[in-house]
């Protein structure tokens, strides 16, 4: 009986500690500063993006914290910098990439990047995109995804 009352008393304290640790860990990987913006006409842009292994559809807390960053296209160079990182995880000329059009009304597209292999990329103009599942809002980022693929193909990415 005494053990049970001790557990009931300690459980809220343990829950608070877990939440505080989670908030501290999350704040270290906050979305990069800056604003997502792009221009299809000149073929450049910056997007908040999730880059993950193909086939992983489930959005977990780990994915929300670790797979997001900034995707940038400038002068035909494509760069992905994870949240919290000072240097890009990869940078490659678009001409060395293979990029597939999104299927149907998908908000992600598949790509082959020489340094990392096959990846699924979900670009967004919203920082809040990480807190939702892909495609969970009607028309969410469909146009943005199509525009990113158009820009990459414009710089010579293969289909």
Within 8 A by CB and 6+ apart from 158, the residues are 97, 98, 99
The answer to pTM > 0.75 is no
pLDDT, tens digit, 9 for 90 and up, residues 118-142: 999 989 888 777 666 544 554 457 8
Cα-based distances in Å from 11 to 1, 3, 22: 15, 12, 17
Mean pLDDT of the 9-15 span: 69
Residue 76, in any domain of the structure: yes
Residue 159, in any domain of the structure: no
- Residue 113: domain span: 37-154
Based on the domain organization, do 137 and 78 belong to the same domain? yes
- The answer to whether residue 16 scores a pLDDT higher than 50 is yes
Based on the domain organization, do 19 and 41 belong to the same domain? no
Based on the domain organization, do 102 and 133 belong to the same domain? yes
Based on the domain organization, do 21 and 65 belong to the same domain? no
């Amino acid at each position: 009986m005494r053990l049970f009352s001790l557990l009931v008393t300690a459980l809220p304290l343990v829950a608070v500690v877990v939440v505080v640790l989670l908030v501290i860990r999350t704040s270290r990987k906050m979305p990069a500063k800056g604003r997502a913006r792009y221009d299809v006409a000149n073929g450049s842009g910056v997007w908040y993006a999730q880059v993950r292994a193909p086939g992983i559809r489930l959005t977990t807390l780990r994915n929300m914290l670790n797979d997001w960053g900034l995707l940038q296209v400038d002068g035909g160079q494509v760069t992905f910098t994870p949240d919290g990182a000072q240097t890009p995880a990869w940078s490659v000329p678009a001409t060395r990439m293979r990029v597939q059009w999104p299927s149907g009304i998908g908000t992600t597209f598949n790509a082959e990047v020489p340094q990392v292999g096959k990846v699924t990329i979900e670009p967004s103009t919203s920082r809040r995109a990480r807190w939702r599942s892909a495609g969970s809002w009607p028309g969410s980022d469909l146009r943005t995804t199509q525009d990113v693929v158009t820009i990459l193909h414009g710089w010579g990415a293969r289909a």
